[in-house]
Structure 1
């Protein structure tokens, strides 16, 4: 692949589009676990969102973490918008509303994921405390509207936000007031990718139900357990959803590339500047017919950038990205990767998971996706509720982690990181259910209480 200062080669053929994903294939010994999470940021005195500029703003937070870690800033124009860890892969970036994201380095096991997260939170809170910046572990900001939240100075978001308003009703809510956890996992071959993608897509509503943690919006009960997941149903149907074609016979990298070609573009980057091509066709770009860059043809990097602007429930790049979970507390961040690692990184568990979801047809998968944001684990399913499938999935994941037998310094295997899910299954109660009980009871409708209790 081209280095940072090396021009990306032009796309020569359809094979280049496929290769951009297929080169992710790697032997099992090289499989890693990548975990990304987004945290809302807020001030307490008074209670309000955090702006980018100012002595106590997001930029000051980035500057402080840079000094603490030695990580290198990257910029949009003159504004630092994140930090890169050059020793490994990963870093910190900003979402549109200041959500503070850690893209974790690829880890060999979940113990490494947990240690990396703990270190990140320790440093972040140390730097944030004098700035009266705090971190909130919820899927959606509970009291602030989109208009209340200061925008970060990132050019791509200036292109995306107006387009979002044209193609959906809640796209800017996704951008400015939602936060997720994402687990990124590898595959060994095209066939392995297909099997894992199908399992992950079908079980994504199960993950949404288990990790539901956004029942409030605009200062009230939203009527949903995962309002964040509901937001994605109303964002941009061209680039979101359950990818029903992934279950077609013959599906593989080529079919995903065909899908991606038909997703409207957002932008093209030239000389570190974002060119607005929102709504244009990558197929036209391949033919040198992009109106904004007439006669110019795309590079491999342009295609990779485009793939990163597609937001299905599971995204395929050079690995699989599981995108269905709300942000929660620190343990739940690691628990998401524990869930998917146990399901997908053990051959016996992967087969058991495939057998679990095989009877679900497209209509059932789509119905679960629509109803889970509101009903969670109590969504009707297979003459019972989705709770039963969730309990089975957690059990399959636990067995997979036992077979992996990756031990920490105390001799404990990776199943210790499933503890939050085991509690949810035991009590049949998601984080959102617990918040609603408090809101209707001891909080007496005072949602400011959640900023103390859900603070990371």
Structure 2
């Protein structure tokens, strides 16, 4: 998660909440791509999880990376919990120590790949002497939840207290999963709605293509993307496929109304996080919040609240694609290329909307429920999800070719789709390849994953 914002401008009307989203609109020539990925640290000797404290802990990793990059520390109650660059990028830690790069907004996929390579190189120079490696899996494959370290972030303590009240797997989501996300811009409310609808409907396709979390507690868990399945029992109030996005008249106002009805986690004042879990943002707007009588909402409260909902596509001042397990660097680049090709070319976006136009709410929900287990073998409207993925990839390739953003070798961004095209051609997700390895050469032992599926 990115750093919480601090803007004390008071909010006095619902129109200001809606305007906050509209302020994210950009002209097409300024559309950017922001890639975020999480990776699970472990000690190469012994395959143990990495705690926060200690000479070789997450704190030492952050401090060393700060010295290596010159990025400024982000602190919470005296603990370094992240780093921020002047260009808009940030490094943060997730509740179980997952190490996240939130990339800067960049003009094309080539630039995001260069950013990723620089980040991994710098991280490796610091992590190597500490004996730390990073898993390229969407879920911690070996350690139980009670064996997983907990990071000292105030908002996470509040979330950890609330999660078990609203779902059975929220703590697993917080402590043991890892994702890759890409943030995409919009130029108008109508453009946002078109992109929201296309990307929501296609999110289960991404879940299948990027499925990479088949192990839990040292053995197969029955899913190809256990990470995605975990989200289905985390907190129904703030997750899911946003069926209202497909209703006539959907836009900023409808999303704001939904967000107003999602219970809050916290209110931040200065450096203090006040636990208001379960409270209503409407009460904060009116100064009637029981935990903070008389306190009224600010812009930062709304921005922070918007960051505590987790639908499959999240609206902030950009659209965030949330359906994929993290993978190796080529798969991280592929995720950025997939959504850039579909969403940043009007012809491609038209084709994507046509691809999903006949799916109703029940079919979209069934896809989300089934894709984590069956992957590309999932069916919708009489077709396999593998066939849909092949068509979506062809759309993305045409969109990237139309953008014609070329690197120093003259290649357009479609070069980064190759790992996904190989998956569709083989019919096997990365998770299925790993399961075959587990049953074969690994002799049903999970430890080889720490030698092969790593940064």
TM-score by length of 1: 0.98
User: What is the distance in 2 between the residues matched to 1:261 and 1:226?
Assistant: 30
Partner of 1:44: 44
Partner of 1:269: 268
User: What is the distance in 1 between the residues matched to 2:427 and 2:5?
Assistant: 52
User: What is the distance in 2 between the residues matched to 1:34 and 1:148?
Assistant: 32
User: What is the distance in 2 between the residues matched to 1:308 and 1:47?
Assistant: 32
How far is 1:218 from its partner?
1.0
Partner of 2:112: 113
Alignment check: 8 A CA contact 2:7 2:299 kept = no
How far is 1:355 from its partner?
0.3
Q: Which segment is superposed worse, 7-16 or 95-104?
A: 7-16
How far is 1:382 from its partner?
2.1
Partner of 2:353: 354
1:381-400 equivalences in 2 (<5 Å): 381-400=380-399
User: What is the distance in 2 between the residues matched to 1:79 and 1:185?
Assistant: 31
How many residue pairs get aligned? The number is 452
Q: Which segment is superposed worse, 184-193 or 42-51?
A: 42-51
Alpha-carbon deviations, 1:388-443, whole Å to 9, x = none? 11110011000100000000011111011111111111111111010011011111
In structure 1, the gaps of 5 or more residues are none
Structure 1 residues 139, 7: closer, same or farther in 2, change over 3 A? Answer: closer
Partner of 1:74: 74
Alignment of 1:336 onto 2:325: no
How far is 1:384 from its partner?
2.9
Partner of 2:25: 25
User: What is the distance in 1 between the residues matched to 2:47 and 2:7?
Assistant: 46
Alpha-carbon deviations, 1:113-133, whole Å to 9, x = none? 000000000010111011001
Alpha-carbon deviations, 1:336-393, whole Å to 9, x = none? 0100000000010000000001100000000000011101100122223111111100
User: What is the distance in 2 between the residues matched to 1:120 and 1:369?
Assistant: 32
Q: Which segment is superposed worse, 19-28 or 5-14?
A: 5-14
Structure 1 residues 50, 351: closer, same or farther in 2, change over 3 A? Answer: same
How far is 1:44 from its partner?
2.1
Alignment check: 8 A CA contact 2:359 2:381 kept = no
Partner of 1:158: 157
Alignment of 1:295 onto 2:276: no
Alignment check: 8 A CA contact 2:5 2:303 kept = no
SS at match of 1:153: coil
Q: Which segment is superposed worse, 233-242 or 414-423?
A: 414-423
How far is 1:7 from its partner?
5.1
Alignment check: 8 A CA contact 2:32 2:184 kept = yes
TM-score by length of 2: 0.98
In structure 2, the gaps of 5 or more residues are none
SS at match of 1:293: coil
How far is 1:91 from its partner?
1.2
User: What is the distance in 2 between the residues matched to 1:79 and 1:447?
Assistant: 33
How far is 1:5 from its partner?
11
SS at match of 2:302: helix
Alignment of 1:8 onto 2:3: no
Partner of 2:254: 255
Partner of 2:129: 130
User: What is the distance in 1 between the residues matched to 2:51 and 2:338?
Assistant: 35
How far is 1:271 from its partner?
1.6
Alignment of 1:379 onto 2:378: yes
Alignment check: 8 A CA contact 2:26 2:187 kept = yes
